[in-house]
């Protein structure tokens, strides 16, 4: 009897991991696309402009499917929207002005640990000591990578090859915004579908998106290349919107802490896309760190989360 009762829970958890993986693959193109876009677009225009594009798509979906605005969740939607619509892409755009996207992809490996922390604080999840061990271990690894690699990226390398670049600070703030936003959206997904949660978060923050887009607009943007234009479109329609369809559903079904760990795999997607689109050289050291991170996520997935 106990086995039968556990089967639906196990199936939901596995399905949640699949949805989460789809989200990770979509999000993996965010850093390379941002690095391409900021070649001509101001980082803050990328932030507000992509949010505005996603908001228009969200309004279309909500109107077609005739969804009613959930007034009782308006405050939480606004907070989540600020973190994932403004905070995360804004700080990430600033980081991509000075750092290679491959570097950023590994540094953002701290996202799963940060997400687990917020899940414990706000979502009532209780990861086991071993889960925390592997999460902290993974964070230490990406921190070492950041200190070793950021100096070379910025030409400001410290003694012995170590240095913490300003871009790494922006990435840290971006990670904190994203992880907090993820947890809030996951909680909201218990009351509405995942796509609806991100849609309403975009709608309630659309005044900020419109104002920010107008204030950061420059006529030079008309001269954007095809690659820069499509990178911006990807950020608006996929990174800012469609990716959350799968990601929010995955967090709800598989658990925020457990599914959140999948973002360690985002490193591989980012490295591959950065190499193909941007011609960024991927060092053996970077690949080595990414492989170790993969081992950490596998071990972390085996740890218990209540």
Question: Which CA distances in Å does 249 have to 3, 7, 15, 252?
Answer: 25, 19, 9, 5
**In the chain, % of residues over pLDDT 90:** 31
Confidence of residue 162 (pLDDT cuts 50, 70, 90): very low
Say if pTM beats, i.e. exceeds, 0.85: no
Q: Residue 148 and residue 157: Cα distance in Å, rounded? A: 8
Query: What distance lies between CA 236 and its chain's CA centroid?
Result: 13
Q: What is the pLDDT of residues 32-76, one digit of tens each?
A: 898 899 889 998 899 999 999 999 999 999 999 999 999 999 999
The number of CA neighbours under 13 Å toward the Cβ of 73 is: 22
Q: What is the pLDDT of residues 66-107, one digit of tens each?
A: 999 999 999 999 999 999 988 888 888 888 787 777 677 667
Q: Where do we find the tokens 């658990």? A: 255
Confidence of residue 158 (pLDDT cuts 50, 70, 90): very low
């Amino acid at each position: 009897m106990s086995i039968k009762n556990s089967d639906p829970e196990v199936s939901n958890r596995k399905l949640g991991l699949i949805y989460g993986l789809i989200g990770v693959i979509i999000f993996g193109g965010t850093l390379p696309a941002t690095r391409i876009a900021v070649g001509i677009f101001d980082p803050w225009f990328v932030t507000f402009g992509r949010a505005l594009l996603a908001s228009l798509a969200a309004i279309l979906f909500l109107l077609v499917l005739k969804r009613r605005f959930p007034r009782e969740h308006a405050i939480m939607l606004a907070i989540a929207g600020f973190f994932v619509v403004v905070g995360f892409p804004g700080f990430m755009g600033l980081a991509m002005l000075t750092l290679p996207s491959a570097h950023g992809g590994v540094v953002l490996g701290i996202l799963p640990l940060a997400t687990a922390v917020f899940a414990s604080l706000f979502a009532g999840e209780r990861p086991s000591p071993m889960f925390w061990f592997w999460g902290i271990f993974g964070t230490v690894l990406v921190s070492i990578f950041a200190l070793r690699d950021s100096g070379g990226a910025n030409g400001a390398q410290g003694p012995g090859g170590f240095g913490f670049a300003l871009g790494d600070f922006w990435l840290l703030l971006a990670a904190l915004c994203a992880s907090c936003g993820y947890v809030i959206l996951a909680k909201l997904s218990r009351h509405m579908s995942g796509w609806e949660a991100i849609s309403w978060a975009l709608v309630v923050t659309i005044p900020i998106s419109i104002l920010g887009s107008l204030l950061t607009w420059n006529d030079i943007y008309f001269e954007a290349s095809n690659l820069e234009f499509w990178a911006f479109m990807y950020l608006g329609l996929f990174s800012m919107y469609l990716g959350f369809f799968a990601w929010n559903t995955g967090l709800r079904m598989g658990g925020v802490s457990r599914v959140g760990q999948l973002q360690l795999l985002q490193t591989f997607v980012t490295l591959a896309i950065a190499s193909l689109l941007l011609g960024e050289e991927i060092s053996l050291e970077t690949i080595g760190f990414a492989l170790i991170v993969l081992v950490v996520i596998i071990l972390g997935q085996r740890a218990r989360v209540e």
